[in-house]
Amino acid sequence: MMKSKWVVLLAALCLVFALAVSASAKTKLRVVWMDYDARFNTVYQTMEQDFEKENPDIDVETIILPWNEGHDRLVTWIAGRQAPDIANTGTRWVLEFNDMGVLEPLDKWLSPEFIKGFYPGALEARIKGKLYGLPVAMSARTLFYRSDLISKPPATWSELVKVAQDVTSKHKIYGIGLSGKKFVELTEFVYYLYGNGGSFFEMEPDGSYGKAKFNDKAGVEALQFMVDLVHKYKVTEPNVTENDRGSLQDLFIAGKLAMVETGPWFAAMLQERAPNLKWGVAPMPHNDGKPQSTLMVTDSIVMFKSSKNKEAAVKYLNFIYRDKYRLEFNKAFGMLPVRASVGAMSYFQTPYYKVYIDQLPRAKGWPLMSEWSKVEDVLWDAVGAALLKIKSPKQALDEAAKEVDAYRKK
Amino acid sequence: MLMAPALLAMAAIVFYPVISTLLSSFFEMNKMGDWVRFVGLGNFSSLFADKTFWVVLARSVFWTVVAVALKTLAGLGLGILLNQDYRGRGIIRTLIVIPWAAPVPIAAMIWMWTFNSQFGLLNHFLKQMGITSRPPAWLANPTTAFWANLTVDVWLGIPFMALAFLAGLQAISHEYYEAAEIDGANSLQRFSYITLPFLRPVILVATLLSVMWTFNDFNVIYIITKGGPMNTTDILVTYLYKTAFLFLDFSHASVMAFITFIVLLVFSLAYARLYFKEG
């Protein structure tokens, strides 16, 4: 009895070994993708199968991680020297991973024509002139408004105030949502800052970030405008420091908000949770006399230095950026195109997508720095203090700038 | 020898993390939490130069003192009530345990929604009862948000106190009270000369445990306000969490853990002396 067990075990081991040997005859490529949506989709599988058909000598292993776990799982793999060849990441992580020194610069592997095919603004993962990540998914923020209550959405801040006052007085509804509760990202302040031609940091000639700039005229005006929306015009919900982006979306869904500023995922939420609500999207409003702009957020795909199959990885990268697969990806996940050739496709020529795509050339991303989470926290406190009228916008931002500069000097 | 497995397990899950954290507070660490170089007390001095840290520490102490005092008083009152003889006592005793039986995160979420100024039950109630037509946005202002958090913490902590005191009260023999009654002691005298002295050990242990739990009450604050608005409801443990896992600043987080450890240790030792002095 005992003996036969050993025989079976030995046979199994031989089989595993044989399989391992036969598999290693092919180049193996470990690719990590993120799970953009819980819905069933076959995008990643299709890409793997089609790619293997074209390249029979390469065996792709597709690993799909949920966003919540993705960062920690990748960090664990990197620390355990088991990084995959290619991984889909949040662009902010690119900075962090690069700090750890594990990323391969991509410029030398990819042709300039290929890189030129991206929207310039989407190529965020450039650190000191070197490209460490290719944009893989992109979203831009817009203004969602109740089309049954607002006939013409506001384009500028003064129109925004007018429309909001109008809708507040005519209907029992708050004009526009504003959130002052800490959230994973500095929502609203960034919209008003960018909509006033502002930016967070000075840019050094070498492309790195200099001193804090968010306390200049543009920044102070932006925060002052937010404070005015709450206290002077009284067109927001009264409890702004209690709400984050999520609860603003809830308020809009509940029919208590006439306008809210958020991203494309909200369209899917509205279709699901409030199918009878009449709504539209419009470009993010900007200050009168300043150029229109909005926040754009990208995710990037990176290659690890430790990869032993860089040629195969580069082949795979070139493959997945073909228009066909890009369109399939964007369709499946509701994301915006990152390549101009895809943006020109008829699928994106609907009025809904047009609002997003038209904004892209002027859209700006988050500052990409490894200290960002601290900066964001300090800024949240400044915004909160101004909204609660504990400090004036100028004072709050000046103090935040001092703290941020001191922190980054360390 | 027989204790070896237990000691080993203790070493792995108690001593190792504690000692590693203590050591970490003397090192500069990278974002992966590896030690980069020894900096001695450098982490301490830079943390002590941070004004926010002192504000948060002072708030933690205030939070703990007020919350534990309230829990003790309410728990003592409830314990005495539950110790009386009346019909339906069993049902009442069961009901008292409910806040304790609810998982803390879920209870905290329910309270978060209760306090919500737009959809919350509390403001709906205040408006319906005509108490005020413009109820405050509880979680939107620093002061109200602090007291809202504290209310929930106290609400969650009362059952333990009440049950501990009830157990202590039940251990006091009726004969003492009868003897005192014959001697003509009134109820206040019976409480202060019989109940309190006998309850002393229970009070000491229960408040000690409560102090530790309250000082480290992460769940309530993190779920209800995340330390906001701004940093105004952060206590040391939520601030520590942010420092470590949001800012990836493990050195200063270790120092804070170290300080928490020392504060609670000193406190426990002082308490233990008090406890054994009598015992």
Cα separation values, B90 from B8, B102, B166, Å? 43, 19, 13
When pLDDT is averaged across residues A131-140 and rounded to a whole number, the result is 92
Q: What is the pLDDT of residue B190?
A: 86
When pLDDT is averaged across residues B198-219 and rounded to a whole number, the result is 91
Task: Collect all residues with Cβ–Cβ distance below 8 Å to A168 and sequence separation of at least 6.
Answer: A174, A175, A234, A235, A258
Does A180 sit within 8 Å of B139, measured CB to CB?
no
- Which amino acid is it at B270? A
In B, minimum Cα distance to A93 occurs at B31
- For chain A, the straight-line distance linking the first and the last C-alpha, in angstroms and rounded, comes to 68
When pLDDT is averaged across residues B136-155 and rounded to a whole number, the result is 92
Q: What is the pLDDT of residue A360?
A: 83
Cα of A131 to nearest chain B Cα, Å: 22
User: What is the DSSP annotation of B24-51?
Assistant: HTTEEE-TTS-EEEE-TTHHHHHHHT-H
Which range has highest mean pLDDT (A206-210, B130-134, B170-174, B257-261)? B257-261
Tokens in use for A362? 């002027």
Are residues A286 and A154 part of one domain?
A: yes
DSSP 8-class letter at A278: -
SS3 A236: coil
In B, minimum Cα distance to A179 occurs at B140
Q: Does B228 touch chain A (CB under 8 A)?
A: yes
CA A347 – CA A344 distance, rounded (Å)? 8
Q: Which helix (H) or strand (E) holds A59?
A: strand A58-66
- Which amino acid is it at A173? I
Ramachandran category for residue A369: left, alpha or beta (phi over 0 → left; psi -120 to 50 → alpha): beta
Which of A270, A277, A178 lies closest to A233, judged by CA?
A178
Are residues A99 and A54 part of one domain?
A: yes
- Which amino acid is it at A39? R
Cα of A240 to nearest chain B Cα, Å: 7
CB B256 within 8 A of CB B239: yes
Give domain status of residue A311, yes or no. Answer: yes
Residue A340 in this model has a pLDDT that exceeds 60: yes
Does B230 sit within 8 Å of A381, measured CB to CB?
yes
Q: What is the pLDDT of residue A299?
A: 92
A181, A256, A373 member nearest B229 (Cβ): A181
pLDDT tens per residue, range A359-382: 888 888 888 888 888 898 899 999
Give domain status of residue A4, yes or no. Answer: no
Q: Which domains does chain B have, with CATH numbers?
A: 56-278 (1.10.3720.10)
Does B31 sit within 8 Å of A240, measured CB to CB?
no
Give domain status of residue A288, yes or no. Answer: yes
Give domain status of residue A267, yes or no. Answer: yes
Q: What is the pLDDT of residue A208?
A: 81
Q: What is the pLDDT of residue A15?
A: 59
When pLDDT is cut at 50, 70 and 90, the band that residue A11 belongs to is: low
Residues above pLDDT 90, as percent of chain B? 40
Are residues A133 and A110 part of one domain?
A: yes
Q: What is the pLDDT of residue A9?
A: 63
Does B230 sit within 8 Å of A242, measured CB to CB?
no
Q: Does B144 touch chain A (CB under 8 A)?
A: no
When pLDDT is averaged across residues B202-218 and rounded to a whole number, the result is 92
Q: What is the pLDDT of residue B48?
A: 92
Q: How many CB atoms lie within 10 A of CB B132?
A: 10
Q: What is the pLDDT of residue A8?
A: 63
Helices (H) and strands (E) in chain B, counts: 14, 2
Are residues A197 and A212 part of one domain?
A: yes
- Which amino acid is it at A393? P
Q: What is the pLDDT of residue A225?
A: 97
Are residues A130 and A41 part of one domain?
A: yes
Does B117 sit within 8 Å of A239, measured CB to CB?
yes
CB A144 within 8 A of CB A260: yes
CB A134 within 8 A of CB A106: yes
Are residues A118 and A84 part of one domain?
A: yes
pLDDT tens per residue, range B267-279: 999 888 888 876 5
Q: What is the CATH number of the domain that holds A288?
A: 3.40.190.10
Mean pLDDT, chain B, integer: 88
Question: Which residues of B fall within a CB distance of 8 Å from A100?
Answer: 30-32
Q: Which residue has the higher pLDDT, B17 or B65?
A: B65
Please tell me the least confidently modeled range out of A146-150, A259-263, A343-347. A343-347
Q: What is the pLDDT of residue A24?
A: 54
Q: Which residue has the higher pLDDT, A81 or B157?
A: B157
Residues above pLDDT 70, as percent of chain A? 92
Are residues A388 and A239 part of one domain?
A: yes
Give domain status of residue A11, yes or no. Answer: no
Does A181 sit within 8 Å of B226, measured CB to CB?
yes
User: What phi and psi values does residue B137 have, to the nearest 5 degrees?
Assistant: -85, 90
Are residues A207 and A348 part of one domain?
A: no
SS3 A120: helix
Please tell me the least confidently modeled range out of A8-12, A293-297, B82-86, B164-168. A8-12
Q: Does B174 touch chain A (CB under 8 A)?
A: no
Tokens in use for B90? 């069993």
Question: Which residues of B fall within a CB distance of 8 Å from A79?
Answer: 32
Are residues A232 and A376 part of one domain?
A: yes
**Chain A residues with CB within 8 Å of chain B CB:** 75, 79, 96, 99-100, 180-182, 237-242, 251, 254, 256, 370, 373-374, 377, 380-381, 384-385, 388, 390
Report CA Rg, chain B: 23
Q: What is the pLDDT of residue A80?
A: 76
Residue A159 in this model has a pLDDT that exceeds 70: yes
Which of A378, A368, A367 lies closest to A93, judged by CA?
A368
Are residues A88 and A214 part of one domain?
A: no
Are residues A112 and A99 part of one domain?
A: yes
Q: Which residue has the higher pLDDT, A271 or A258?
A: A258
Please tell me the least confidently modeled range out of A81-90, A166-175, B181-190. B181-190
Give domain status of residue A115, yes or no. Answer: yes
Q: What is the pLDDT of residue A19?
A: 55
Residue B244 in this model has a pLDDT that exceeds 60: yes
pLDDT tens per residue, range B87-140: 888 888 888 888 888 899 999 999 999 998 888 899 889 988 888 888 888 888
Q: Does B49 touch chain A (CB under 8 A)?
A: no
Beta strand ranges found along A200-269 (DSSP E): 201-203, 209-212, 257-262
Give domain status of residue A15, yes or no. Answer: no
User: What phi and psi values does residue A391 have, to the nearest 5 degrees?
Assistant: -130, 155
Give domain status of residue A5, yes or no. Answer: no
When pLDDT is averaged across residues B198-208 and rounded to a whole number, the result is 90
A241, A256, A380 member nearest B140 (Cβ): A241
CB A335 within 8 A of CB A296: no
Residue B60 in this model has a pLDDT that exceeds 70: yes
Question: Which residues of A fall within a CB distance of 8 Å from B138?
Answer: 242
Paired with A299 in beta bridges are A90, A137
Cα of A5 to nearest chain B Cα, Å: 33
Mean pLDDT, chain A, integer: 88
Residue A5 in this model has a pLDDT that exceeds 80: no
Which stretches within B84-141 are classed as H helix? 89-101, 104-115, 121-128
Cα of B147 to nearest chain A Cα, Å: 15
In A, minimum Cα distance to B116 occurs at A242
Does B142 sit within 8 Å of A239, measured CB to CB?
no
- Which amino acid is it at A308? K
Does B231 sit within 8 Å of A381, measured CB to CB?
yes
Which of A178, A268, A258, A281 lies closest to A225, judged by CA?
A178
- Name the residue range of residue A397's domain: 142-294+371-409
Q: What is the pLDDT of residue B36?
A: 83
Q: What is the pLDDT of residue A1?
A: 46
SS3 B113: helix
Are residues A211 and A68 part of one domain?
A: no
CA A46 – CA A26 distance, rounded (Å)? 20
When pLDDT is averaged across residues A231-241 and rounded to a whole number, the result is 92
When pLDDT is cut at 50, 70 and 90, the band that residue A104 belongs to is: very high
When pLDDT is averaged across residues A373-392 and rounded to a whole number, the result is 91
Q: Does B226 touch chain A (CB under 8 A)?
A: yes
Tokens in use for A366? 């988050």
Tokens 């949502």 -> residue: A177
Residue A121 in this model has a pLDDT that exceeds 90: no
CA A247 – CA B118 distance, rounded (Å)? 10
Count how many domains chain A has.
Answer: 2
